[in-house]
């Protein structure tokens, strides 16, 4: 008989080993552990909250939709078909959730040392009450326990939302989205606060699948002639207003680079023409996206939506995987990203405004100390988003604080974003961020670089207040 391996959800996890620093980190954390979750940027499905239907099974909840999970399995030779990831051609994939779960469980050791492991263990222990570690041997016990739980009312989306202590969560939708789920949530009388965010990539990126049709549809939705530059901009204004009426406080822009432009209207029209005609070159498409960013900044000054730029991902890097399974399957890879030259056109036009907040994210950690902190430590409109995506991890968060704080300070940052579509990981992710921030503050205090009273003042700012203020939530 093998001994049970327990899940180690130690109360001191992620705190540094030095006893005096650990003790202070623990004390700081105690003041923020139970603060509500403000989730100003993420990708959960509003349908969950609108319909409040049970999640179907453990694999459908925790494996199939989570590209952090299946990219690691795939990297070690597991076929996506065997994990039940649907093929675009409708070809056969595993449909038995228990078999998928067993396959996942038998590879769980691959996640050692990764944040995915911490998030999953947290959910297993806290949400489902598991005490033994997931492995091939415990796979069925896990499956049965989680499966049974999901059938009960306490594990419906709204109940989980409430038990997670979420004060507000933002989803992200395309301008073409009618926001029916958000409307349904509002009309349902449920108290949970779910807001949308304006993510216009499908009508902003000429290289997005179906761009021309998307822009036409944008015109149809708004009654604007989106074949003209003026009409195209007016259509954005319409939809932004609609999104704002459905709770949006922000827009989000996921471009390949941070390039911004400030072109003459005639040049804008020419680019739009070529984009709609499908004759736009890659360089011109980049200019078009860059021009729209500058326009969006101007619109934000009018309607007050907070602007976010999430640049630097090479999307769909694996052509065969994209052909077989489509986008968001773990094959987006970060690239080197310039901000200093790229943002200058936008900053030259709007950088000194008093009525605009632009939150910058990066997948290129080299920019923290070299570009982002110096920019955010100067321009009034700029704030720094937290460490993001591949860097949303204990080491990544520490690097962000260590590399950005000395130049940008704490008050040019905006707290934590979970940025996830993995609903169950949300409490775990915020918990990791709170622990790491308290660890960082405790280290500063123990090295006499910050007053202890100041650390206690900053901890709830980083955990809660800064995000609420920056995103106007």
Q: Which of residues 158-217 bind a copy of itself (CB under 8 A)?
A: none
**What is the smallest separation between the CB atom of 356 and a copy of itself, expressed in angstroms?**
11
In this chain, which of 394, 400, 417, 418 binds a copy of itself, going by CB under 8 A? 394
Q: 66: burial class by Cβ within 10 Å (0-12, 13-18, 19+)? A: buried
88 scored as a contact of a copy of itself (CB under 8 A): no
**What is the smallest separation between the CB atom of 188 and a copy of itself, expressed in angstroms?**
39
In this chain, which of 217, 371, 419, 437 binds a copy of itself, going by CB under 8 A? 371
Are the C-beta atoms of residues 146 and 58 closer than 8 Å to each other?
yes
- Find the distance separating the first CA and the last CA of the chain, reported in whole Å: 53
437 scored as a contact of a copy of itself (CB under 8 A): no
In this chain, which of 85, 235, 321, 422 binds a copy of itself, going by CB under 8 A? 321
The full DSSP string for 285-352 is HHHHHHHHHHHHHHHHHHH-PEEEE---EETT--HHHHHHH-SSSS--EE-----TTTTHHHHHHHTT
**What is the smallest separation between the CB atom of 266 and a copy of itself, expressed in angstroms?**
23
459 scored as a contact of a copy of itself (CB under 8 A): no
In this chain, which of 20, 30, 53, 180 binds a copy of itself, going by CB under 8 A? 20
Of 191 and 354, nearer to a copy of itself (C-beta) is 354
In this chain, which of 405, 417, 420, 425 binds a copy of itself, going by CB under 8 A? 405
Q: What Cα–Cα distance (Å) separates residue 273 from each residue in 63, 220, 280, 285, 315? A: 42, 18, 8, 11, 25
In this chain, which of 311, 351, 386, 415 binds a copy of itself, going by CB under 8 A? 351
The full DSSP string for 409-467 is TTTTB-------S-GGGHHHHHHHHHHHHHHHHHHHHHTTSS-HHHHHHHHHIIIIIHH
Site string for a copy of itself, 211-250 (x = CB under 8 A): ----------------------------------------
Of 19 and 278, nearer to a copy of itself (C-beta) is 19
Residues numbered 37-56 forming contacts with a copy of itself, rule: CB under 8 A: none
323 scored as a contact of a copy of itself (CB under 8 A): no
Long-range contacts of 205-214 (CB under 8 A, 24+ apart): 205/255, 205/285, 205/289, 206/275, 206/280, 206/284, 206/285, 206/288, 206/289, 207/282, 207/285, 211/275, 212/275, 212/276, 212/278, 214/174, 214/176
403 scored as a contact of a copy of itself (CB under 8 A): yes
Are the C-beta atoms of residues 401 and 413 closer than 8 Å to each other?
no
Site string for a copy of itself, 266-285 (x = CB under 8 A): --------------------
**What is the smallest separation between the CB atom of 334 and a copy of itself, expressed in angstroms?**
5
Cross-strand pairs, 37: 166
Cross-strand pairs, 132: 6
**What is the smallest separation between the CB atom of 10 and a copy of itself, expressed in angstroms?**
4
**What is the smallest separation between the CB atom of 42 and a copy of itself, expressed in angstroms?**
20
Q: SS3 for 147?
A: helix
Q: Where do we find the tokens 């319409």?
A: 238
Of 242 and 400, nearer to a copy of itself (C-beta) is 400
What CA–CA distance (Å, rounded) separates 302 from 290?
Answer: 19
301 scored as a contact of a copy of itself (CB under 8 A): no
335 scored as a contact of a copy of itself (CB under 8 A): yes
**What is the smallest separation between the CB atom of 336 and a copy of itself, expressed in angstroms?**
7
13 scored as a contact of a copy of itself (CB under 8 A): yes
The full DSSP string for 35-81 is SPEEE-S----HHHHHH-PPP--HHHHHTTT-HHHHHHHHHTT--TG
Of 170 and 398, nearer to a copy of itself (C-beta) is 398
What CA–CA distance (Å, rounded) separates 61 from 192?
Answer: 21
Of the candidates 421, 460, 465, 468, the one whose C-alpha atom is nearest the C-alpha of residue 32 is 460
What CA–CA distance (Å, rounded) separates 463 from 35?
Answer: 8
472 scored as a contact of a copy of itself (CB under 8 A): no
In this chain, which of 34, 77, 91, 92 binds a copy of itself, going by CB under 8 A? 77
What CA–CA distance (Å, rounded) separates 308 from 379?
Answer: 15
**What is the smallest separation between the CB atom of 369 and a copy of itself, expressed in angstroms?**
6
In this chain, which of 63, 100, 376, 426 binds a copy of itself, going by CB under 8 A? 376
348 scored as a contact of a copy of itself (CB under 8 A): yes
15 scored as a contact of a copy of itself (CB under 8 A): yes
Of 449 and 472, nearer to a copy of itself (C-beta) is 449
Residues numbered 99-138 forming contacts with a copy of itself, rule: CB under 8 A: 109-115, 118, 133
């Amino acid at each position: 008989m093998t001994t049970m391996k327990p899940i180690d959800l130690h109360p001191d996890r992620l705190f540094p080993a030095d006893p005096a620093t650990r003790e202070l980190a623990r004390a700081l954390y105690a003041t923020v552990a139970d603060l509500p979750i403000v989730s100003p940027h993420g990708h959960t499905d509003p349908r969950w909250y609108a319909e409040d239907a049970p999640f179907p099974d453990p694999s459908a909840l925790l494996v199939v939709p989570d590209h952090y999970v299946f990219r690691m399995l795939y990297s070690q030779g597991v076929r996506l078909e065997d994990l039940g990831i649907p093929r675009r051609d409708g070809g056969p994939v595993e449909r038995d959730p228990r078999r998928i779960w067993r396959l996942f469980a038998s590879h769980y050791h691959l996640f050692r040392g990764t944040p995915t492991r911490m998030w999953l263990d947290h959910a297993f222990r806290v949400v489902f009450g598991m005490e033994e570690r997931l492995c091939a041997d415990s796979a069925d016990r896990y499956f049965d326990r989680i499966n049974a739980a999901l059938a009960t009312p306490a594990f419906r989306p709204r109940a989980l939302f409430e038990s997670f202590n979420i004060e507000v969560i933002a989803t992200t939708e395309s301008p073409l989205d009618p926001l029916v789920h958000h409307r349904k949530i509002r009309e349902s009388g449920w108290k949970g606060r779910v807001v949308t965010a304006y993510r216009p990539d499908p009508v902003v990126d000429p290289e997005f699948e179906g761009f021309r049709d998307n822009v036409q549809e944008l015109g149809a939705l708004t009654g604007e002639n989106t074949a003209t530059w003026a009409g195209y901009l007016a259509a954005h204004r319409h939809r932004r207003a609609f999104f704002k009426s459905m709770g949006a406080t922000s827009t989000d822009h996921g471009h390949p680079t941070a390039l911004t432009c400030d072109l003459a209207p005639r040049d804008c029209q020419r680019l739009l023409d070529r984009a709609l005609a499908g004759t736009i070159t890659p360089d011109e498409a980049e200019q078009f996206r860059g021009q729209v960013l500058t326009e969006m900044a101007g619109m934000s000054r009018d309607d007050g939506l907070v602007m976010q730029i999430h640049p630097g991902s090479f999307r769909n890097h694996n052509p065969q995987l994209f052909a077989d399974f489509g986008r968001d399957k773990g094959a987006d890879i970060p690239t080197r990203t310039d901000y200093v030259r790229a943002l200058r056109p936008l900053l030259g036009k709007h950088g000194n405004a008093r009525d605009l907040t632009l939150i910058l994210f990066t997948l290129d950690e080299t920019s923290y100390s070299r570009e982002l902190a110096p920019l955010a430590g100067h321009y009034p409109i700029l704030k720094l988003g937290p460490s993001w995506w591949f860097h949303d991890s204990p080491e990544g968060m520490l690097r962000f604080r260590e590399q950005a704080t000395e130049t940008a300070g704490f008050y040019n940052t905006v707290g934590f974003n979970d940025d996830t579509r993995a609903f169950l990981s949300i409490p775990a992710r915020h918990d990791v961020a709170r622990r790491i921030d308290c660890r960082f503050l405790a280290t500063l205090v123990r090295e006499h670089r910050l007053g202890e009273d100041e650390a206690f003042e900053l901890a709830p700012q980083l955990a809660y207040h800064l995000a609420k203020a920056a995103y106007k939530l």
